[in-house]
Structures are given as C-alpha cells and as structure tokens.
A and B are shown apart, each in its own frame.
Chain A
C-alpha cells in the first residue's frame, strides 16, 4: 500500500486507524487500519464472522468504535455521523427496505428522507435505471432475490452518494444477476463513486481495484490482487493426474505442506517454505503419471492460508 500513502488527503475516501469493537467481551474487530482511494472499488474479504459487517457499520456511524479513529469522506466517523450518512449509501446484508411497501413507495421514501425535491421523479428515474419498470407497484417483499438486490442498490444510490458501502450484496444471487450487478458497480465507480464491497466470492475479489482480507477481526492483507498474492510468499504446485484424492490424503500434514486443496480436476499443493515443500514432494514427482507444475497460488489459496495461519495466532 506504499502507493496509497503518497496520495493527498483529498483523494482518500476512507481512512481509519486502530478501529476496535467488542460485543459482550468478544473482540470482533481488532486494531483495524485501512485507506480507500476515491473512485476505487475496494473489496472486503474474509470468512463469516470475521468483522466485515461490523467494520462497515462503524464506517457509516451505525456502530461506535470502542477504540480508534478515522474519517469517511473527510468527516470524523465518531462526531460527524450525521454528515456521513448524507453522503454514504449503505446496502445491508439482509434486505432492509420495507417489504410491505411497493418498489416505488420504497424509493420515494428514501428520496424524501434525503430531502430530494422531486422525490417522485427521482424514484421514477431510478426504477428505469435498475430495470424495474413495470414492477413499480409490486410490493418489495414479493420480489425475487435478484430484483430485491437491484432495488436495494437503487435505494442506496438514489440520493447520489459519494461512497457506497455494500455488505455482501451478491449473496444468494444467480451468476447472471451477479455479473450485471458488477457491471453496474464498475459503471458507478467510473462516474467517480467510491465503492467498498464485502464478498465471499473470489471472482468478485478479482474485479476489485484493491482488496483487504480480514479474519477474526484482524486485517491480514491488503493491496491489489497481485500484490496480495506476491506478499503471501506461498509456493504452489498444481498436480494433475489420477487418484488425486489419494495423493491429497498422503500429503496432508507432511512437513512443508501447509495446504492441499482440490481445484476441479487438479490439486493445489502449497507451502510457505518452498525448499521444505520441494523436499517433501520430491518422491512423488515422478510417480504414477502425475504431472507437477510450479504455479502461482490462486487468491483462494492465499486466503485460506491466511485464514489457517490467523486461526493459529488468534484463536
């Protein structure tokens, strides 16, 4: 992230330092610091319960941090929550618009809350933009998952925010809708909007300009996808051939082997200590028609390795 630290303050949408938050004595977010550049799409990755939602909620003033400080669009996240709320669109993980209001009524409600002059007109334009024309009068609760997600995105972009916080926006949405959604996000970013999006999907992570990986409340890695992979110092061999399950069972737990994971018809064998890894796999390299290939670890390999390591450290 050395490139980020040289950019000027005006180019930074989010800057937080040492954020911590506990619930009932359990620390959900620990000493988290990060920066998000304006106009970028920032991916927030991590397993369930890693503190992603809590972090997002602290950024938009829904939760008060126990420790740490930061700014969101130049406003203090502790003191200026009201101002931040005017400039930020937050899409919650669970659909949180009114199920018993129609598409149009929900959007008009949001437009009025933000004090937009022509709430009806703004709602009408947004319905067209998100492709819900013809469904204006349908109750939000009756929409399918994909439509609900579009409506939710429409509602949080309606007041022309400068920053979008999207909490697992594509969970439970089909691949086509997911692709459309990401195209829309890229279009919004191109218009200058900053987007912070949390996700589980590796393909989505790869569509982000920068990513951060968080597990057990700790920020473990951040940067571009290439930077994160490079910094992991993980060596991976891709094995193809027969009886990969047998090989996986034999290799698991051996010295130098930190992770064995099947990927489709091949097997990824990874280790942090390349020489130890190579010593262990040497006897297998020429056996039984397996083909070994020295390859780059995938983002998923890196994340799972980070998660395994963090489990050792923090649990």
Chain B
C-alpha cells in the first residue's frame, strides 16, 4: 500500500516495525559512507591513536638521562678524570662540549645548549691531597626542575665512586672534596616558573593554529571562494590578509598570559620585554602560517580541526613543555626541532627566567623564521587559484 493510498483512506500513518532502529540504521549507514569517502578523516581515525601513542610512549621520559653537559677543565689530573668518569657513569650526564672560560660556560647554559656545566678548578688534586676539601662546581639549568632534579640527586654518590677508582689517594678523610651543585635560574625548583612561560607558547599554538586553519576552507564551504577567485587578488595577498589580523589577536593573548603569569604567579621577566614581544610576534606569525598552510591542504573544516590537533599534541609533548626535551630519544628530538613551540619555549624560558640576550637565542630565532617561511611557501604554492 502506497503512502498516498493510506492517506486518502484516512487510516493514518502506521509506524513501521522497528522504525526507530531502521531510521537509526539508515543514518548510521550514511555516516559510514561519508566517513569512508572522507579519506583524511578516515586516516586520522587510525593515525591519531597509533602514531601518537607510539610517538609519546617512546619519547616521554620523566627521568631523563644523557643530558648535555659542558666541562670546564682547569686541571688535567687523574682525580679530575676520575670525577668526570664517575659523573658520566651515572648516565645522567653526557659531556657534549669542552669550554675554556667561565664566560663560555655561562653562555652555553643561558642559551640552553647544555643543561649542566662541570667546573674542575685549578689545583684540585693537590687541594684534595692536602685535605682542604675543595669544591667542584656543577651548575645546572634548573628552569625545568624535572630535568635537573634526578641528575643533581646523584652527585653525592659520585664522590665515593671517583675515590673508589682512585685508591692511590691514600687514607682520605670521609669526604675529601665536595661537589657543590648550583641550581641556576630556578633555585627553589618551582615548577610554575617553568610551566608559565611554556604555557604562553602552548596556548598561542592552539589558538593561532585554529584561527587560520579554518580560514580558507570556510571561504570554500560558504561559496565565497568563487567570487574571491574571480577578482584580481593573488595568493600571497589572501594569505597576508588572513594572517595579519590574528597577529594582533595573538599579541593581545600573549600579553594577557604573560601579564597574568607575572602578576599572579610571580614569574619574573629577567630579560628584555621588547625582545620577548618581538620574538613572541615571530612565534605567533609562524603558527598562523602553519595553520594557514593546513587550510590550503584540507578539504573541509573538520579536517582542518583534525590536522590542527595532529600538530598540537606533539607540540605539547615533544617541545619540552611537558617533559624535558633533553631526555627524549634523539629521533624525538629531531621531530621536536621541527615544531615552533620547541624553539619558542627555549626562547621564552631563556628571556623570562635567565635574562637571555638576543645573542643567546640566535639558533631558535632562525629556526622559527625558517619554519615560518617554509609554511608560507607551501601555503602560497598550495593555494588553488582556480576551481579545477
């Protein structure tokens, strides 16, 4: 019986058996078909859990070892070598650089190229033999308390190890020398000092990415792209027009976070505020460019959101924001170097907590500029000037 017959005979519309399930099933089938057609979403279903789990499961290490360490050796003696050997044997320290002056030593710590510095003073072995209990300085970049904490905790045992190795020292007093740990920049190991500057970068990454990741797909989905493309505007102009307003938005956001961080959490800004502002603007622009690049690659707004998340999660986990960067395996560090947040976190921690000067930040600044230019180039070449 057709619907019109039923209606004309005024018998009313009868509810088919299992109507709820049939209609739900119809909807479900449709959703699956659409999902299958949407290749990117489909890939994301598998990629997000598998990739992220593998990536982070292996990469995250809260008791990081083999941390880059600089040594300033002012005396070449057996005992000095034993101490260094003992430090290396703890597995926490990896001697990556040998320096020849205190200035060089400070510079490496400030720029974040090393996390520790070991200084063996002149006349160390002689002083030990004399029973003067000389001090051996281990300076640590303690901005990230997690990274520095465990390593510093092992220093006491190092003295014993070194002595066991150098039995010829004779009958030493209980502690023939002392290792003086100097936790720089965040001596009280307050994690908020480390986290607040990192949050500036993390929050900016999320908001900036999403602002621009939706911008081109929105034009396409609303149909306005067709008239936009028919008018004389070039891809670079579209890009700048869409990025620049959000640079201002991002700058306001950054000022808010930094303002609240200093007022409520007592996080200092030891370095130049102007330098912080300039490099934050660079970081904002880099993220906006990456978001815009996503926008030129994806086909709809859902994909844009997914792609932003795909980028955002590793940014949090592999940038050194949540877990010590130096503690990650080398491959994860290489991945991290490709994320703007990694570089910005170094910059923002260095300026706020270490009072770093521009010369300390050259590498990370250049890295941000390179990432920005790469993103912009991809975006401009990917931007479809026609509807083909």
Which residue in chain B gives the minimum CB-CB distance to A84? B232
Do B387 and A92 touch (CB < 8 A)?
no
Chain A residues near B224 (CB, 8 Å)?
Answer: 96-98
Do A62 and B223 touch (CB < 8 A)?
no
Chain B residues near A113 (CB, 8 Å)?
Answer: 231-233
B242 to chain A, nearest CB (A): 13
Do A90 and B227 touch (CB < 8 A)?
yes
A234 to chain B, nearest CB (A): 37
Chain A residues near B387 (CB, 8 Å)?
Answer: 57, 62-63
Do B388 and A92 touch (CB < 8 A)?
no
Asked if B229 CB lies within 8 Å of chain A CBs, one says: yes
Within 8 A of A (CB), among B206-248: 222-234
Within 8 A of B (CB), among A253-271: none
Do B223 and A96 touch (CB < 8 A)?
yes
A90 to B387, CA, bound (A): 14
Asked if A64 CB lies within 8 Å of chain B CBs, one says: yes
Asked if B9 CB lies within 8 Å of chain A CBs, one says: no
A110 to B231, CA, bound (A): 8
Within 8 A of B (CB), among A32-48: none
Do B232 and A85 touch (CB < 8 A)?
yes
Do A64 and B226 touch (CB < 8 A)?
no
Do A62 and B226 touch (CB < 8 A)?
yes
Chain A residues near B229 (CB, 8 Å)?
Answer: 62
Asked if A82 CB lies within 8 Å of chain B CBs, one says: yes
Chain B residues near A95 (CB, 8 Å)?
Answer: 223
Do A60 and B223 touch (CB < 8 A)?
no
Which residue in chain A gives the minimum CB-CB distance to B229? A62
Q: Main SS of chain A's interface residues?
A: loop
Which residue in chain B gives the minimum CB-CB distance to A167? B226
Which residue in chain B gives the minimum CB-CB distance to A82? B232
Candidates A64, A88, A97, A98; contact of B386 at CB < 8 Å = A64
Do B230 and A90 touch (CB < 8 A)?
yes
Within 8 A of B (CB), among A70-121: 81-82, 85-86, 88, 90, 92, 94-99, 110, 113-114
Which residue in chain B gives the minimum CB-CB distance to A115? B232
A117 to B227, CA, bound (A): 21
Asked if A61 CB lies within 8 Å of chain B CBs, one says: yes
Do A92 and B227 touch (CB < 8 A)?
yes
Do A88 and B223 touch (CB < 8 A)?
no
Q: Main SS of chain B's interface residues?
A: loop
Which residue in chain A gives the minimum CB-CB distance to B233? A113
Which residue in chain A gives the minimum CB-CB distance to B241? A113
Do B227 and A63 touch (CB < 8 A)?
no
B107 to chain A, nearest CB (A): 50
Could you mark each residue 353-388 of chain B with 1 if its beta carbon is under 8 Å from any beta carbon of chain A, else 0?
A: 000000000000000000000000000000001111
A92 to B388, CA, bound (A): 16
Q: A63-B388, A64-B388 are in contact. Are A85 and B227 (CB under 8 A)?
A: no
A91 to B225, CA, bound (A): 13
A10 to B119, CA, bound (A): 85
B87 to chain A, nearest CB (A): 63
Chain B residues near A64 (CB, 8 Å)?
Answer: 386, 388
Do B388 and A114 touch (CB < 8 A)?
no
B57 to chain A, nearest CB (A): 42
Q: A57-B387, A63-B387, A64-B386 are in contact. Are A92 and B232 (CB under 8 A)?
A: no
Which residue in chain B gives the minimum CB-CB distance to A98? B224
Do A114 and B226 touch (CB < 8 A)?
no
A25 to chain B, nearest CB (A): 14
Chain B residues near A97 (CB, 8 Å)?
Answer: 224, 227
Q: A96-B223, A99-B222 are in contact. Are A114 and B230 (CB under 8 A)?
A: no
Do B231 and A62 touch (CB < 8 A)?
no
Chain B residues near A98 (CB, 8 Å)?
Answer: 222, 224
B235 to chain A, nearest CB (A): 12
Within 8 A of B (CB), among A53-73: 57, 60-64
Could you mark each residue 286-300 of chain A with 1 if its beta carbon is under 8 Å from any beta carbon of chain B, else 0?
A: 000000000000000
A61 to B226, CA, bound (A): 11
B329 to chain A, nearest CB (A): 45
Chain A residues near B226 (CB, 8 Å)?
Answer: 62, 92, 94, 96
Q: A90-B227, A92-B226, A94-B223 are in contact. Are A62 and B232 (CB under 8 A)?
A: no
Which residue in chain A gives the minimum CB-CB distance to B224? A96
B22 to chain A, nearest CB (A): 33
- Can you spell out 28 A-B residue pairs with CB atoms less than 8 angstroms apart? A60-B230, A62-B230, A62-B387, A63-B386, A63-B388, A64-B388, A81-B385, A82-B232, A82-B234, A85-B230, A85-B231, A85-B232, A88-B230, A90-B230, A92-B223, A92-B226, A92-B227, A94-B223, A94-B226, A95-B223, A96-B224, A96-B226, A96-B227, A96-B228, A98-B222, A113-B231, A114-B231, A155-B227
8 more A-B contacts (CB under 8 A) besides A85-B231, A86-B232?
A: A61-B386, A62-B230, A92-B226, A94-B226, A96-B226, A98-B222, A113-B231, A113-B233
What 10 pairs between A and B have smallest CB-CB spacing? A96-B227, A90-B230, A85-B232, A96-B223, A86-B232, A96-B226, A92-B226, A113-B231, A94-B223, A62-B387
